[in-house]
Amino acid sequence: MTKYQKYTWVCTSDCDALIEYTFKDGYGWPNGVMDLTCRCGTNCTLLSVEDATIPYTDSPLPTKEETMETETPAVTVPDTYNANLLVTYKVIRGYSDAEYATDKVASIEWDLHNGRQSQKQANMYSSKIETAKDIITEAYADSDDQETLRSIAEALDISLNRTIEWSATIEVSGTMELDLLADYDTDVEQEIYDNLSVDSQNGNIEVIDQEVTNVREN
């Protein structure tokens, strides 16, 4: 099966275009040259280069008439739609008091679109930061340049943590009040086994397993 590569760019100008090119392996951008200019004239930012697979088919290419028949029908614009309509809406700013603004429908549409694109980019960068975190965490212990790794982690706001397993022995003593009339047959040892437990006051320390042993009445 023929191998392909898919290049994905984003335009950082107001047009906010997302551009994808898929090339047969060996026909893409030369190594080290990833320049692309958007139709608006802005240089695009390369987001990713990844392998792509296009299934081979023996079916003949559709004719112009067949293509026209299978084209997706155009979206019907509702009669009530008015891009220049002024709309008053609530602007929510976290926990502060809301504000009210008035703008055209067209402007609100672009704000929503840009917000969705920004969210996509934020999710993409978050994924890349998680990948960088995994790489740094795995390489940190054996690295000869841990200072540089720490600087990269700080720049990306990455927490470098290491999980260790531990065990401890705790000697506990205490008192227990018994009603001699009502609790004369209480199994003191079993009562302590059932109700004594260990907890941590430090959020970084997790008690996974515990066992109470050697309970005795002094």
Return the bridge partners of 52, or none.
4
Q: Quick one: DSSP state of residue 35?
A: -
Each residue's pLDDT tens digit, 106-165: 888 898 898 899 999 989 988 999 899 889 988 888 889 999 999 999 998 888 887 888
Smallest CA-to-CA distance from 136 within 124, 150, 157, 155 is with 150
Each residue's pLDDT tens digit, 184-199: 677 888 888 888 888 8
Pair 133, 158: CB distance under 8 Å:
yes
Per mean pLDDT, which of 3-7, 38-42, 57-61 is the most reliable? Answer: 38-42
CA-to-CA distance for 170 and 177, rounded, in angstroms? 22
CA-to-CA distance for 10 and 17, rounded, in angstroms? 6
Residue 90 phi/psi, 5-degree rounding, is -90, 130
Show me where the domains of the chain are located: 3-53
Which stretches within the chain are classed as H helix?
A: 64-70, 105-140, 146-155, 188-195
Q: Which residue bears the tokens 């390489």?
A: 139
pLDDT at 38 over 60: yes
0.85 surpassed by pTM: no
Residues written for the chain: 218
